[in-house]
Structure 1
Amino acid sequence: MSSKQTNKLLTFFSLYIAQSVPMSLFSTLLPVLMRQDNFSLSTIGLLQLIKLPWILKVFWAPVVDKKTSDLGTYKKWIFSSEMVYAILILLVAFLDLKTNFITIFILIILSFMASATQDIATDALTALSFSRKEKSLGNSMQSMGSFAGALVGGGLLLLHYKLIGWTVLLISVSIFVMLALVPLMSYKDRKFTPKKGSTPICMKDLLLFFSQKGAGRQLIFLILCYSGLIGILAMVKPYMVDLGYKTGDIGFMFGIFGSLCGCLFSYIGGYVIRSLGRFYSRIIFACAILATTLLFYFLSLTTPGTIALYVAIFCLWASYGLSSVLVNTVAMDFLRDGREGTDFTLQTVITHLSGMIIAVCSGKIADCLGYNGLFLVETALAVTSLIYILVCFKRPARHE
């Protein structure tokens, strides 16, 4: 790999990890601190609302598309939104959670709006900066940034919270977010292809995405691809609690070891897609997900040992890493000219919404059928996904 290609990948990795670290930290740390300060469970449950900007961002994605065209305009959007993100995190650092909860809550939502805006511009820039053959490598940086951010924000920083405290921790995160912009400052790409066309700012333009040939097939695949893993990801931590594992052990096995596996296989997944193509990668990754669901099902029939759980967690996060790259890659294949940020955002929002529904339902299923029942349902979803791929993607179509 040339030095220019390495610098290019590093630039996009830094942008994606800059989004992920603060989000993972707030999502993991705040519920713990709030419970320690005797906040009610209903109030803690409201924390899910901080993720709303990443669902609602589809409604201002057309604005970003309309105001961007060349590399310079994309840089301006990314720099400005990321600086706002860092400044808002810095403001939160000097507030007390117990006495300024509402203010902190509002500032975090605003910071996530800035981060979501950066994500729209970065996704569109990724789509325009990589050729079809290289696109999977760009998507590897996207997934690796997310997993590495979860590893740092939800794992390493959480472990160091007691040593450095709230203020120093968030100041450090704010500085990190700003430093992550450094590679973009010197980033140049002579092969960058400015986007074509213009994007009207209206709901009709969002709805026109669904009128494209193959849009239904694409969206069904995006919904099914993760479906066999989401319920397991949501319930594996309480499953480990019921097996008798301590919080620190779960944090290391799931948050650090698991995230590291996801990050590694996100990188591997990009090369697999580049080498074998979308068609065979869909089948291979779907088989990996199916094997993972079966492994968890058989483990749930007994009392698994620690090594067996490590193997299962490895398979879970490896499959998740592979499938996340695939989802991002095929989503970027299905973009209209001039609407790159809007179309990619729309697809990811649909994927995230379906994942949230499955995650919520997984708890109810586990209550009614037990963990083995949940894992069996997840196996059925994985089988459905594989069959769908084999039936609907026999021949490469326009977006394959």
Structure 2
Amino acid sequence: MPDRTRAGKLAALAALYFAQGIPFGFQATALPVFLRASGVSLSAVGFSGALALPWVAKALWAPLVDRFGWERLGRRRSWILPLGALLSLTCAAAAFVPPSHHLGPLLALVFLMNLLAATQDIAVDGLAIDLLGRGELGPANAAQVVGYKVGMLAAGGLLVWASAWIGWRGQFGAMAALILLSTLASLALREPPSSEVEARDRRSVREVLATVLVALRAPGALWVVAFLGTYKLGEAMVDMMFKPFLVDAGFPPHRIGLWVGTYGLVASIAGSLAGGLLAQRLPLLAAVGLSSALRSAAMAGEWYLAAAGPPTEGAIIAVTVAEHLFGGAVTTTVFAFMMSRVRRSVGATHYTLLASVEVLGKSPAVWLSGALAERLGYAGLFALGTALSVVFLGMLVPLRERQTGGALSGEPR
């Protein structure tokens, strides 16, 4: 029975994260294609990336999700259900505003989708922290990452492909139905009652913020923040320039899409599952260290492709699969470690803040990657990215020495 209960819990969480991956998958992957096909300028297509801003800024309103909630329905569920319903309705509305005729309203609706999904994500993260024990962090974060990626794949790939037959309205109708059905999975989860300590920590938004500040001042907590803000710097700059490198090496876009967008995504999902198993079998920091070291070795393969001369198709596929496999494992193990460092009473705010640090930390590397590639060449950039990934592994040493920060408990340890 415990195994069935755990499996049901993980399946429900995966479904909720799947729902949140749908709008981001459409905005990040499908929207640029539809915009360009409708004659939108390249500068406008690039600017459409700003529609994902709610995912970066969600820490600003996360304290509201921790503070408010209807206990009778479930403090987290009282956010998840209405947000899911609104997200589904927004997708349904977008079915009637194709970019060729209603570009402004469509972009506004996509922004609203991201806002609703990002806010729901805060509540789902808080629910996961409320429900999970330490031994469940690995499998649960594998369910989180895989569910989200499959949602992105569905909206950014499969439904775009199917739109040739079901049309624009059919595509968004399917998105709306999938989101609504996935959101209902929260009804299968039983939220634990709040303790007196947890209730005290969130009596007001000010109390929520004060509790998070206390957690961030705990010994070793700033090392956690520093690690999360830097561990993907090297990977981010290499990933951003790897596809342009393949283009400049003479490979056509459709083959690059197959290798990176299909083989790579499948390998990334497999790596996320493997990372969950690793986080369950090993101490979390050991799992992070092992997966990070393997990821750095795979990145060295990308440097070798650029430095050794014209790359072959087989070598590109092997390196791509390895980098995505170990990159997926790193994401799961780091997210599990991050969740273990969260103070449960304000879990939605604390976890969202750490997740925002993770996103913002790698952004400068993405922004500067093109300029660095022009100055250093692809081989030099890939060497720099690999070196940074190895160097920042050193931050695991002080984390190992200072096991602190409120590991899924009411009080910081």
- Quote how far apart the aligned CAs of 1:343 are: 0.5
The residue that corresponds to 2:333 in the other structure is: 326
The residue that corresponds to 1:194 in the other structure is: 194
Are 1:213 and 2:212 matched, yes or no?
A: no
- Quote how far apart the aligned CAs of 1:299 are: 0.8
Q: Please show how residues 383-398 of structure 1 align to structure 2 within 5 Å.
A: 383-389=390-396, 391-395=397-401, 397-398=403-404
Q: Deviations over 1:173-197 (max 9, x none)?
A: 11111111233223336xx363613
- Gaps of at least 5 residues in structure 1 are none
The residue that corresponds to 1:233 in the other structure is: 239
Counterpart code for 2:84: E
Conserved in 1, the CA contact under 8 Å of 2:294 and 2:326?
yes
| SS of the residue 1:73 aligns to | coil
Counterpart code for 1:201: V
Are 1:262 and 2:268 matched, yes or no?
A: yes
State the alpha-carbon separation in 2 of the partners of residues 106 and 289 from structure 1. 38
State the alpha-carbon separation in 2 of the partners of residues 93 and 109 from structure 1. 15
Q: Deviations over 1:84-137 (max 9, x none)?
A: 111111111111213311111111111211111110010011111110121222
Q: Please show how residues 298-309 of structure 1 align to structure 2 within 5 Å.
A: 298-301=304-307, 302-309=309-316
**CA gap 1:244/1:45 in 2 versus in 1, 3 angstroms:** same
State the alpha-carbon separation in 1 of the partners of residues 164 and 41 from structure 2. 23
Which of 118, 121, 125 is residue 120 of structure 2 equivalent to?
A: 118
The residue that corresponds to 1:274 in the other structure is: 280
State the alpha-carbon separation in 1 of the partners of residues 398 and 128 from structure 2. 27
State the alpha-carbon separation in 1 of the partners of residues 193 and 334 from structure 2. 23
Which of 295, 299, 322 is residue 301 of structure 2 equivalent to?
A: 295
Farther off after superposition, 199-208 or 27-36 = 199-208
Task: Count residues in correspondence.
Answer: 397
Farther off after superposition, 259-268 or 247-256 = 247-256
Farther off after superposition, 237-246 or 39-48 = 237-246
State the alpha-carbon separation in 2 of the partners of residues 145 and 185 from structure 1. 18
State the alpha-carbon separation in 2 of the partners of residues 204 and 67 from structure 1. 14
Q: Please show how residues 1-400 of structure 1 align to structure 2 within 5 Å.
A: 2-68=3-69, 72-188=74-190, 192=192, 194=194, 196-197=198-199, 198-199=201-202, 200-202=204-206, 205=210, 207-301=213-307, 302-389=309-396, 391-395=397-401, 397-399=403-405
Conserved in 1, the CA contact under 8 Å of 2:296 and 2:386?
yes
State the alpha-carbon separation in 1 of the partners of residues 305 and 98 from structure 2. 44
| SS of the residue 2:147 aligns to | helix
State the alpha-carbon separation in 2 of the partners of residues 306 and 160 from structure 1. 29
State the alpha-carbon separation in 2 of the partners of residues 60 and 209 from structure 1. 18
RMSD: 2.1
State the alpha-carbon separation in 2 of the partners of residues 40 and 216 from structure 1. 43
**CA gap 1:153/1:286 in 2 versus in 1, 3 angstroms:** same
Conserved in 1, the CA contact under 8 Å of 2:95 and 2:169?
yes
- Quote how far apart the aligned CAs of 1:207 are: 4.9
Q: TM-score, normalised by structure 2?
A: 0.90
State the alpha-carbon separation in 2 of the partners of residues 68 and 270 from structure 1. 30
State the alpha-carbon separation in 2 of the partners of residues 162 and 238 from structure 1. 28
State the alpha-carbon separation in 2 of the partners of residues 246 and 145 from structure 1. 30
Conserved in 2, the CA contact under 8 Å of 1:123 and 1:344?
yes
Q: Deviations over 1:52-80 (max 9, x none)?
A: 11112111111110114857221221111
- Quote how far apart the aligned CAs of 1:396 are: 5.7
Q: What percent of counterpart residues are identical?
A: 26
| SS of the residue 2:310 aligns to | coil
Q: Deviations over 1:365-395 (max 9, x none)?
A: 1122221111011011111112222x32343
**CA gap 1:287/1:68 in 2 versus in 1, 3 angstroms:** same
State the alpha-carbon separation in 2 of the partners of residues 305 and 158 from structure 1. 30
**CA gap 1:246/1:166 in 2 versus in 1, 3 angstroms:** farther
**CA gap 1:273/1:69 in 2 versus in 1, 3 angstroms:** farther
Conserved in 2, the CA contact under 8 Å of 1:155 and 1:251?
no
**CA gap 1:371/1:154 in 2 versus in 1, 3 angstroms:** farther
